[in-house]
């Protein structure tokens, strides 16, 4: 049973929370007592996600914005502080996936994928650090991927490169932030059953990939959310700079 008080009094920002894993993470953190800020570049999705949380009796604020824009990120943090007065948890979930082969990747597409997945992680993390330092407590959880440790199952080289970069950024920030009571970790999901995956590959491809995994199915967003909730809690107080796999055994290293 979910502990409804574990994150009581904590304020969490979840980026890309309009659908998929971000949506599941937001609901899991809210169920543990956190007050949520729901971010998504799709304003309607952010509003609907926050409304669903409030309908379930939780506290949630929708703040749309592009995590690859420093101006938007400043606005997200300012709105959070204005509403709640602090920031304790940041989940850098927002991501973009494209399956394009290197020979066909245009510069604009490369920039989009790297900027959202990697630059957005940096911008959001930098923006919340002052509030977390002031609180003397913080949890930053970055979304990498099995792509960050090997190669992407369905994405292109730009996705693989960005997710590998997230792991390097996670380790470095963890070292810098530790003296201030802030932990920084990464989760590395495999193929998870999300709208983004379903929009990228066919049902036949999805089934074929699933059958090839030791645990022969796609992961559920709620399973990833459980791992994130653990890292966001005091139960993970001695874990930092780590990357935790959740992939049904697809990548064993």
The residues annotated as belonging to the active site are 159
For residue 217 the two structure tokens come to: 């199915």
Cα separation, 230 vs 232, whole angstroms: 5
Residue 214: DSSP 8-state: S
Chain position carrying tokens 């996705």: 159
In terms of Cα–Cα distance, which of 82, 86, 79 is closest to 65? 79
CA dihedral (20, 23, 28, 31) in degrees, to 10, reads -150
Dist CA 233 CA 253 (whole Å) = 26
Per the listing, tokens 């989760």 go with: 187
For residues 197 and 220, give the distance between their C-alpha atoms in angstroms, rounded to a whole number: 12
Is residue 138 classed as helix, strand or coil in its secondary structure?
Answer: strand
* Cα–Cα distance for residue pair 189/9, rounded to 1 Å: 28
Structure tokens at 220: 């559920």
């Amino acid at each position: 049973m979910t502990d409804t008080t574990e994150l009581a009094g904590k304020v969490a920002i979840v980026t890309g929370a309009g659908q998929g894993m971000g949506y599941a993470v937001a609901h899991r953190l809210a169920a543990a007592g956190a007050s949520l800020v729901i971010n998504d570049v799709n304003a309607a999705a952010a509003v609907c996600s926050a409304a669903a949380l409030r309908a379930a009796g939780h506290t949630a604020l929708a703040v749309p914005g592009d995590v690859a824009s420093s101006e938007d990120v400043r606005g997200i943090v300012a709105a959070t502080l204005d509403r709640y007065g602090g920031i304790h948890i940041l989940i850098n979930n927002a991501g973009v996936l494209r399956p394009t082969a290197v020979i066909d990747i245009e510069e604009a597409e490369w920039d989009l994928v790297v900027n959202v997945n990697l630059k957005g992680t940096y911008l959001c993390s930098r923006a919340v650090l002052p509030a977390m330092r002031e609180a003397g407590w913080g949890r930053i959880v970055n979304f990498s991927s099995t792509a960050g440790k090997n190669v992407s199952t369905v994405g292109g080289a730009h996705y693989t490169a960005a997710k590998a970069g997230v792991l390097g950024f996670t380790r470095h920030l963890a070292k810098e932030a530790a003296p201030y009571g802030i932990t920084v970790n990464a989760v590395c999901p495999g193929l998870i059953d999300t709208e983004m995956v379903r929009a990228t590959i066919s049902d036949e491809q999805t089934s074929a990939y699933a059958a090839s995994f030791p645990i022969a199915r796609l992961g559920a967003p709620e399973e990833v959310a459980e791992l994130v909730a653990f890292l966001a809690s005091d139960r993970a107080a001695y874990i930092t700079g780590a990357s935790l796999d959740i992939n049904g055994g697809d990548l064993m290293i």
